[in-house]
Structure 1
Amino acid sequence: MRRLDPERRDRIIAAATDSIAQEGVSGTSHRKVAVRADVPLGSMTYHFSSMDDLLTEVFTAFAATISTEFEARMAAAETPAAALDQIVDLIHSDLQRSKREHVLTYELYTLAARRADFRSITEQWMQASRAALERHFEPDVARALDAYIEGTALHIALDTRPQNRELTRAALHALTNSSSIHERSKIAS
């Protein structure tokens, strides 16, 4: 008789996410995920035809969660100045809260850099981030801000010397008040 387990698929995704966070994509296998999820190995292929299918589910869900949180931050800001405050908090708080999130983010980036089929996940994530930023800033500025957020978060995570919040605020202020971003994008078009 077949065991009823309606949450099995979700457990597999959660177990795969944990495995990637601890061992990376290269250290994650169907067998390891099945053990973590406490499911028969055959369940893996029933729910996910390949490891790529499972990785797609894991990273799509992860990116959607982060995008939703970012959208909520930008929606809460009523002015561009408040949006900048939200971005400073995001960089120095949200993006630094968890080594797990860093690992998952950079595992996804590495996978997307190597394989075009995973690039659609990062592309959707970037589009969602830029759309959230465009609530308060012109598209070219939003794109520059998005790149700054990602780069600064990486530097803060890996640098042994902490970055001052005021330096972040000053850099964001310079980016948002620079007419050269918009002018250069017009020239390039």
Structure 2
Amino acid sequence: MVGERGIAGLSHRAVAAAADVPLGSTTYHFASLDDLLVAALRQSNVVCLDDFARWVDGIDPEAPLAEEVARLVEDTLTGDRRRMELEYELYLAALRHEAVRPIAAECLDEMVRLLGQRIGDLRTARTVVALTDGLVLQHLLTGRPFDPEAVRAGLAGVLG
């Protein structure tokens, strides 16, 4: 639903129509629009964290971390753009919808935890999560061509 219309198109009436249920069903389960956003972000986070966990499990311990992070960014940016736009739209909704903030933070914290367990350094894990977020978001916003070599070189400079 949010993927088609964006957050601006989210309403109880629109959700009820898309789900082919009476309006009262959506207002019963979701008292407010914030409740709808929270539910949507939770659902999005499940997919995001599943993908991230698969990437973490596939990290080559012999490869430089910058190479592995560059692979994650490239895989993300060459995947389903519409899904990425949806994930970031929901994630950034936390800026204006306080009820959504803890859900966004939970996802980030879980990403840090997963990566931190794998590489043994929570500080670096938090930096990697922030860097990947920034790289993906900037690419989505600007539409500039993805340059994997520039990303690898930049990450190597930051991560060593």
Q: In the TM superposition, what is the alpha-carbon distance from 1:80 to its structure 2 partner?
A: 5.8
Alignment of 1:55 onto 2:37 = yes
Distance 1:115 1:47 in 2: 19
In structure 2, relative to structure 1, the CA distance for the partners of 1:160 and 1:114 (3 Å cut) is closer
1:163 corresponds to: 146
Match of 1:149 among 132, 143, 159: 132
- Superposition TM-score, scaled by structure 1 size: 0.74
Aligned positions, number: 159
Structure 1 residue ranges (4+ consecutive) displaced by more than 3 angstroms after TM superposition: 82-86
Q: In the TM superposition, what is the alpha-carbon distance from 1:60 to its structure 2 partner?
A: 0.9
Identity of aligned residues (%): 32
- Structure 2: which 5+ runs fail to align? none
Q: Secondary structure at the match of 2:10?
A: coil
Please, which moves more after superposition, 162-171 or 81-90? 81-90
Bigger Rg over Cα: 1
- Structure 1: which 5+ runs fail to align? 1-17, 178-189
1:38 corresponds to: 20
Distance 1:25 1:159 in 2: 20
- Superposition TM-score, scaled by structure 2 size: 0.86
Higher RCO (CA-CA < 8 Å; seq separation 6+) = 2
Q: In the TM superposition, what is the alpha-carbon distance from 1:51 to its structure 2 partner?
A: 2.5
Matches within 5 A, 1:1-189: 18=1, 20-79=2-61, 81=63, 84-134=66-116, 135-136=118-119, 138-177=121-160
Q: In the TM superposition, what is the alpha-carbon distance from 1:83 to its structure 2 partner?
A: 5.0
